[in-house]
Structure 1
């Protein structure tokens, strides 16, 4: 994203990821993330009248009710402590999260990415969708639009969170469970600003060897208007020490 990690993560090929030496985490983000402010009754799919309800909640524009979800491997790395059926079900919520993100970005819908739909607004704007929102703002300022080849989702896995990583995450105000999700994004991806006169300016480009690994903290939210969807309340770049040890389980 530039990626739900230009989306805050460093892009390296897989070989570089495996060989990475330890490095410091750096200072905490200014964006702390409270628990989701609403609780919802279970609903795997959005309601028919979801557009009107979303508008009342300040979430616009309205996404299609049944966005296609990517078909990627969903790995259970909990040693069986989380049942496979639950892992697959919750993995679908992350697939819906990514599909909604991609729909909003490709269609230049900055308002949706700044809303409470996929993440607390402060966290989404400062971390999760920071690059995308900066590119969209540049296009708006130029009176143009973005032409996007989006990054691809390559895989999901649920992993045990080490005590060290859990303490670091709680220090940032993240909600941390014993198991959290790692998602892998893959290039190529490009972002071009198309100006009113038809000329274009390249804002971002990466090759097919690009890989982004992100440890995502959050909760599956049974949203009556968006369906069962992931709600990201924190994240770490998997290339950072000691997070890489959790990601590489």
Structure 2
């Protein structure tokens, strides 16, 4: 990867992460379902919880409020072996020759706010949370937003049930 490609893709992943947070605060289900953010057909996998919460807020006549946004504390480009790409493809995911390990740090707190009702905590992640995630996909240039990572799926790097080759890709 060239230094310019590294900068471009770093910007794309950071923008993807920021847009996900923005979508929660701004009724952005349509953004999370769009090809700007995720490979077609993977939106309910990649943004499952976010979309469920946005739909819950809509059906209750309320909104979501990110009271404490999780922080992106580390971002590393990692090569993906043929084995990782094969496992990904077997699960319907879209992987290129490299991915990104992004590490999030808590706390994370999202509230469901419905007029006339007390706020409901719908996400409550502790301040001790440090979670690396292997993000698949590729960077694409959106004419309005600039470079955005289009997610092709992800793997929890600390899940002991993941194949060893997946966990190793996270290192």
**Which protein is richer in helix relative to its size?**
2
Matched, 1:246 2:169: yes
Distance 1:176 1:134 in 2: 25
Distance 1:227 1:207 in 2: 32
Q: Aligned with 1:122: secondary structure?
A: coil
Structure 2: 5+ residue stretches without partners: none
Counterparts of 1:31-110 in structure 2, within 5 Å, are 82-110=1-29
Q: 1:222 to 1:147 in 2, by over 3 A?
A: closer
Distance 1:223 1:85 in 2: 18
Post-superposition Cα deviations, 1:61-116, rounded to whole Å, max 9, x if no partner, equal: xxxxxxxxxxxxxxxxxxxxx23342122211111111222211122222221222
Which of 88, 98, 105 is the equivalent residue of 1:169?
A: 88
Structure 1: 5+ residue stretches without partners: 1-81
- In structure 1, what is the equivalent of residue 76 of structure 2? 157
Moved over 4 A (4+): none
Q: Aligned with 1:209: secondary structure?
A: coil
- In structure 2, what is the equivalent of residue 119 of structure 1? 38
Q: Aligned with 1:138: secondary structure?
A: helix
Preserved contact between residue 180 and residue 218 of structure 1 (Cα < 8 Å): yes
TM-score by length of 1: 0.61
Structure 1 residue 198: Cα displacement: 4.0
Structure 1 residue 150: Cα displacement: 2.2
Matched, 1:189 2:112: no
Which of 128, 150, 159 is the equivalent residue of 2:46?
A: 128
Preserved contact between residue 107 and residue 129 of structure 2 (Cα < 8 Å): yes
Distance 1:139 1:214 in 2: 27
Distance 1:153 1:210 in 2: 12
Post-superposition Cα deviations, 1:116-147, rounded to whole Å, max 9, x if no partner, equal: 221135312x2211111111111222222222
Q: 1:204 to 1:182 in 2, by over 3 A?
A: same
TM-score by length of 2: 0.87
Q: Aligned with 2:89: secondary structure?
A: helix
**Which protein is richer in strand relative to its size?**
2
Distance 2:102 2:41 in 1: 21
Q: How many residues align?
A: 166
Preserved contact between residue 39 and residue 94 of structure 2 (Cα < 8 Å): no
